[in-house]
Chains A and B, each alone.
Chain A
Amino acid sequence: MTNFKIIQKRNIWLTISGILFAVFVAALFLWGFKYGIDFTGGSLLELTYEGQRPTVEQVESSLADLKLSSFIIQPVGEQDMLLKFQETMEETHQAILSRLANLAKQDNTTFLEQRFDSVGPSIGAELKVKSLWAIFFALIAMLIYITYAFRKVSRPVASWKYGLSAILAMFHDAVITMGVFAFLGHFYGVEINTPFVAALLTVIGYSIHDTIVVFDRIRENLPKSDLDFEGTVNVSLNQTIGRSLNTSMTVLLVLLSIIIFGGASIRTFALALAVGIFIGTYSSIFVAPPLLVIWEKWKK
């Protein structure tokens, strides 16, 4: 059995967490997200070139006078090109096609329009508001459930505080994950789309899940422990740390395989999950239990 002094060094962990939290909150406020088409709505035009595909710069300069907003040009595969922009008017679509046709004529190539989607935001205001409410209710429900499940260990720390600590740790994880994406969005143009929302929800679920496993051990040890609360928490942590690391390892391995081998559209999702689950594992060991102990000390 390992015997790390985790709780005893809680100030170190909480300081690290505090700094990380502050940095990524700053990133969130400073840069915000780079919202993808799912949030903003827009158009997606995919072309397949027959011969020589023009370069991104050529396409960009030939369409410069249209002043498209959030304009992204991506070469896809060998022959394809993906254009994304926020305008959805059919006229804009036709204007782009005629300009690109002129460009193609110069190069003696032709292209085929694979698809043109003009979409309103699929994550409309309605879904945004609904999801936020749903998360709010889920948190309340979790708090009630944890308070009930831990009712037998209401001493020395009230059982609702287990719930609140778990939720605080979860909040920490969610904010850091979002902050990482604000950073990635600003420097690498990584966009936030529907899969990111799903990933964030998973991180929320996983974070609580992981914390509860640790708290469960505390619940089991408390009645039979000779140690004080701090000591009992530390022993419980040491007993569960192997399981926490192994579980995270399996999940991270799957995610890694998705990041490496998976399709492009699911990669952002896997990356968000990997970041969130890494942080979630960290917080279930180094944030939530220390918070419990601090709470117990405060009472004195």
Chain B
Amino acid sequence: MSDNILQNLFNPSPRGKIKWIFVLIIILAITASLIDFGDYYNKAVDKFKIPFPKVKEIPFRLGLDLLGGTQLTYQADVSAIAAADKGSAVEGVRDVIERRVNTFGVSEPNVQINRTTSGDYRIIVELAGIKDIKQAITMIGETPLLEFKEQNTEIRKITDEETKQLNDYNKAAEKRATEVLGKVISGGDFSALAKTYSEDAATKDRGGDLGWITEQSNSAIYNLASKIAVGKTSADLEKVSGGYEIIKVEDKQAKTDAFTKAEETQVKASHLLICWTGISNCESGLTKEQALEKITRLKEQATTANFKDLVKQNSTEPNARDTGGDLGWFAKDMMVKAFADAVFAQKVGAISGPVETEFGYHLIYKQDEKKIEELKVSHIFIKIKTEEDIIGKQSEWKNTELTGKNLKSAAVEFDSNSGSPEVALTFDDEGAKLFETITERNINKPVAIYLDGYAISVPTVNEKITGGKAVISGKFNITEAKLLAQRLNAGALPVPINLVNQQTVGASLGQQSVADSLKAGLIGFIIIALFMIVIYRLPGLMAVLALAVYSLLVFALFKIGFSMAALVLVGAFLIIGITVNGWFLVFAFLSYIVLYFIGGLAPVTLTLAGLAGAIVSVGMAVDANILIFARLREEIINGKPLSSALDDAFKRAWPSIRDSNFNTLITCLILIMFTTSAVKGFAVTLGLGVIISMFTAIFITRNFLSLIPPTWLEKRHALITSVKAPKPSDNE
């Protein structure tokens, strides 16, 4: 028996070979189904206690339109960049953010540049599946801003005349503000006065309406307004930075969550932190187990009376000695999730057990809890001017063309003389050239390296530096130097960015669309199946089975991943495999597995456009079968016996399938190379679908048909076509 199998394997007869291929196809289909329906399979194994191993569940990667997630909009501050370089600086920001988000393992981010009509550059970051806006913001916010500056030789000082103008203007402003306050107090219509006098362009037209504000959203005005009763206005002129405020409090309420409508609260608490080795900046020298042991011991001792002293003696938080671990008042979304969950759940006056977060173990003493108060406020704002308004912002330093965009890598090194740690920067080619010219024109002058807006190193240039290397020799310890190098390696921003908009996009709309579209796809599949079976009979049925394998394969590939390299390699081997020699199909399979292991694949992010591409490729798969079967009929009409008619049909239909699908693939390749976002997603799924469809519609359909003995089929002509016997005169 085993002899027979071996013989079959190494030296198969034609029919034996067909059977082997059939078995391989079934194995492929089962593997694909396990990938597609891994979660259902595992549930079934659990439920029926079948002794089968479990499979790894790989989820679909859904785009923002299907899954929902977070969208953040940043404004890039390009004021310090020359007009010609603004575009490329913002592109640098996009690349850095994209890299940044990728290293944190966020599902395929969509980062777009957006130039607004007013000429502002914005970067839109879409993070599918991330509901925790705070986490996303921190992640991107940690991206360092790296700038290289040289001395500004054109600093302008304010003239005496300008100083006089400034003072005159501000006196007039104060007088104006006092007059308006008088009108308000004497009972004038606040809204009308705001429309006439307010110098806040954003709220002026709405009668000064600022909407609902909280201490968090607008602390300056909230602090003034909280002293005023509802319905009342400011009694005195309030001077704030930038001008004078006259405020009216319209209404007051407890803030509620926009989604759950539950009242939001804020908490006053202090905490004791014990970190362990491995957490950045932790110098406790404890292992995680020791840290837990220590904090459990402290918990036993802790009372509300001695908590502050325990913190001062034990907490590993920097400054704990001064602050006593006091966190003041905070809202839920201001703390990391594990911490917030614990403190908001516990009772006022209680001390929590150990709570684990990314910073270590905490004991939390909740001192108080209150509702967050929201005030509905209108204001009249009268501006005053500062020196900056007249002569513009004057800085000792000005930006050079060299920015964080040009950074290739960073590493920790040690100064050869003092042995103190430094961070060595390596620039890319463009950066190296820029650095050379910058150092050349600043010989014997200082050049400043700015990190996150602060000068961290201001060396004086001794000579022109070639080779594209610079050193930041600040006063770091090793841990700080390592951390900085790590942050810089994840990408450094060329210009500062500000978060201007953040929102969570619900998935409810998307889910409905997905469900509806999947249902539509399924109905479409059934219609195609019926159509194919009615028109093309037995071959039609085989084509439908092949189409089922196609669907399993395509969705499995969506989950595992795909790439440009895969498109080219697997595509080429499949085509050679179908046309020249079946062994090349093995290469197609192997090259895909190799790509998987060397990380040459990225999971396909499914968007609505992507799903559409997949559905369209089903049409193309069916088309290949229709071409073959139409040909089969013709061959039979022309009087060929069934088996050779089958051979010829596949052979003759191939050139048109090849050429038409090649054209689609060329389009897909070019779209993938040149475009982004939705169009690219569409091209990826369509291209993948076309390749797989060639394999299933030709190779698998043919294998299925060949399994049926030709002699058996010969007697049952009706299974293939109603045209029974070849009659040369028959014209229909």
Nearest neighbor of A203 in chain B, beta-carbon distance: B616
A261 touches B516 (CB 8 A): yes
A254 touches B670 (CB 8 A): no
B627 touches A213 (CB 8 A): yes
Within 8 A of A (CB), among B511-533: 512-517, 519-521, 523-525, 527-528, 531-532
B679 touches A216 (CB 8 A): no
A261 to B519, CA, bound (A): 7
B666 touches A138 (CB 8 A): yes
Stretch with Cβ within 8 A of A (4 or more), from B219-227, B449-457, B489-497, B652-660: B652-660
Q: Is the interface of A mostly helix, strand, loop or mixed?
A: helix
Hey, which chain B residues are within 8 Å of A120, CB to CB? 73, 112, 114-116, 122, 124
Would A112 and B532 be within 8 Å (CB), given that A133-B674, A247-B626 are in contact? no
B663 touches A208 (CB 8 A): yes
A281 to B664, CA, bound (A): 16
> Is there a chain A Cβ closer than 8 Å to B23's Cβ?
no
A195 touches B677 (CB 8 A): no
> Is there a chain A Cβ closer than 8 Å to B340's Cβ?
no
B527 touches A257 (CB 8 A): yes
Number of A-B residue pairs, CB cutoff 8 Å, is 239
A133 to B673, CA, bound (A): 11
> Is there a chain B Cβ closer than 8 Å to A141's Cβ?
yes
Stretch with Cβ within 8 A of B (4 or more), from A19-27, A122-130, A172-180, A184-192: A122-130
Hey, which chain B residues are within 8 Å of A69, CB to CB? none
Would A263 and B512 be within 8 Å (CB), given that A213-B660, A250-B626 are in contact? yes
Within 8 A of A (CB), among B190-242: 202-203, 206, 209, 211
A119 touches B660 (CB 8 A): no
B664 touches A266 (CB 8 A): no
> Is there a chain B Cβ closer than 8 Å to A118's Cβ?
yes
Hey, which chain B residues are within 8 Å of A261, CB to CB? 516, 519-520, 523
> Is there a chain A Cβ closer than 8 Å to B287's Cβ?
no
Hey, which chain B residues are within 8 Å of A205, CB to CB? 663-664, 667-668, 686
Hey, which chain B residues are within 8 Å of A117, CB to CB? 71, 503, 505
Contact of A253 among B113, B124, B203, B528 (CB under 8 A): B528
Contact of B667 among A142, A212, A217 (CB under 8 A): A142
> Is there a chain A Cβ closer than 8 Å to B661's Cβ?
yes
A117 to B516, CA, bound (A): 23
Would A246 and B535 be within 8 Å (CB), given that A120-B114, A254-B619, A257-B527 are in contact? yes
Would A262 and B202 be within 8 Å (CB), given that A134-B675, A220-B652 are in contact? no
Say how far B675's CB is from chain A's closest CB, in angstroms.
5
Would A95 and B209 be within 8 Å (CB), given that A198-B612, A250-B622 are in contact? yes
A89 to B514, CA, bound (A): 31
> Is there a chain A Cβ closer than 8 Å to B662's Cβ?
yes
> Is there a chain A Cβ closer than 8 Å to B11's Cβ?
no
Nearest neighbor of A266 in chain B, beta-carbon distance: B517
Contact of B618 among A126, A201, A210, A254 (CB under 8 A): A254
Question: Which of B261, B626, B652 has the largest number of chain A CB atoms within 10 A?
Answer: B626
B211 touches A94 (CB 8 A): yes
Contact of B675 among A131, A195, A213 (CB under 8 A): A131
Contact of B678 among A97, A122, A146, A204 (CB under 8 A): A122
> Is there a chain B Cβ closer than 8 Å to A102's Cβ?
no
Would A210 and B682 be within 8 Å (CB), given that A138-B666, A239-B634 are in contact? no
> Is there a chain B Cβ closer than 8 Å to A14's Cβ?
no
Within 8 A of A (CB), among B55-110: 65, 71, 73
A201 touches B682 (CB 8 A): yes
Say how far B203's CB is from chain A's closest CB, in angstroms.
7
A201 to B669, CA, bound (A): 13
Nearest neighbor of B615 in chain A, beta-carbon distance: A254
B613 touches A198 (CB 8 A): yes
A115 touches B523 (CB 8 A): no
A46 to B505, CA, bound (A): 11
Would A149 and B686 be within 8 Å (CB), given that A127-B677, A134-B675, A263-B512 are in contact? no
Hey, which chain A residues are within 8 Å of B616, CB to CB? 202, 206, 251, 273
Nearest neighbor of B202 in chain A, beta-carbon distance: A91
Hey, which chain B residues are within 8 Å of A217, CB to CB? 656
A250 touches B679 (CB 8 A): no
> Is there a chain A Cβ closer than 8 Å to B258's Cβ?
yes
Nearest neighbor of B664 in chain A, beta-carbon distance: A205
Within 8 A of B (CB), among A210-227: 210, 212-213, 216-217, 219-220
Nearest neighbor of A134 in chain B, beta-carbon distance: B674
A273 to B686, CA, bound (A): 14
B679 touches A201 (CB 8 A): yes
Hey, which chain A residues are within 8 Å of B666, CB to CB? 138, 141-142, 145
Hey, which chain B residues are within 8 Å of A90, CB to CB? 501
B627 touches A209 (CB 8 A): no
A246 touches B528 (CB 8 A): no
B670 touches A134 (CB 8 A): yes
Question: Which of B259, B504, B609 has the largest number of chain A CB atoms within 10 A?
Answer: B609
Nearest neighbor of A93 in chain B, beta-carbon distance: B211
A257 touches B524 (CB 8 A): yes
> Is there a chain B Cβ closer than 8 Å to A60's Cβ?
no
Nearest neighbor of A277 in chain B, beta-carbon distance: B619
Say how far B342's CB is from chain A's closest CB, in angstroms.
29
> Is there a chain B Cβ closer than 8 Å to A1's Cβ?
yes
Say how far B108's CB is from chain A's closest CB, in angstroms.
15
A209 touches B677 (CB 8 A): no
Nearest neighbor of A258 in chain B, beta-carbon distance: B520
Hey, which chain B residues are within 8 Å of A52, CB to CB? none
Nearest neighbor of A254 in chain B, beta-carbon distance: B524
A254 to B611, CA, bound (A): 13
Say how far A95's CB is from chain B's closest CB, in angstroms.
6
16 A–B contact pairs at CB < 8 A?
Answer: A91-B203, A114-B506, A115-B504, A117-B503, A117-B505, A118-B503, A123-B678, A134-B673, A134-B674, A246-B626, A246-B630, A247-B626, A254-B527, A258-B517, A261-B516, A266-B608
- Which 8 pairs across A and B sit closest by C-beta, in order of nearness? A120-B114, A263-B513, A254-B524, A216-B656, A263-B516, A134-B674, A262-B520, A251-B619
Given A120-B116, A261-B516, output 16 extra A-B contacts at Cβ < 8 Å: A3-B731, A95-B206, A124-B114, A124-B115, A131-B671, A141-B666, A194-B609, A198-B678, A210-B660, A216-B656, A243-B627, A262-B520, A263-B517, A264-B513, A265-B509, A269-B609
Interface residues of B (CB under 8 A from A): 65, 71, 73, 112-116, 122, 124, 202-203, 206, 209, 211, 258-259, 261, 501, 503-506, 508-509, 512-517, 519-521, 523-525, 527-528, 531-532, 535, 608-609, 611-613, 615-616, 618-620, 622-623, 626-627, 630, 634, 637, 652, 655-656, 659-664, 666-668, 670-671, 673-679, 682-683, 686, 731-732
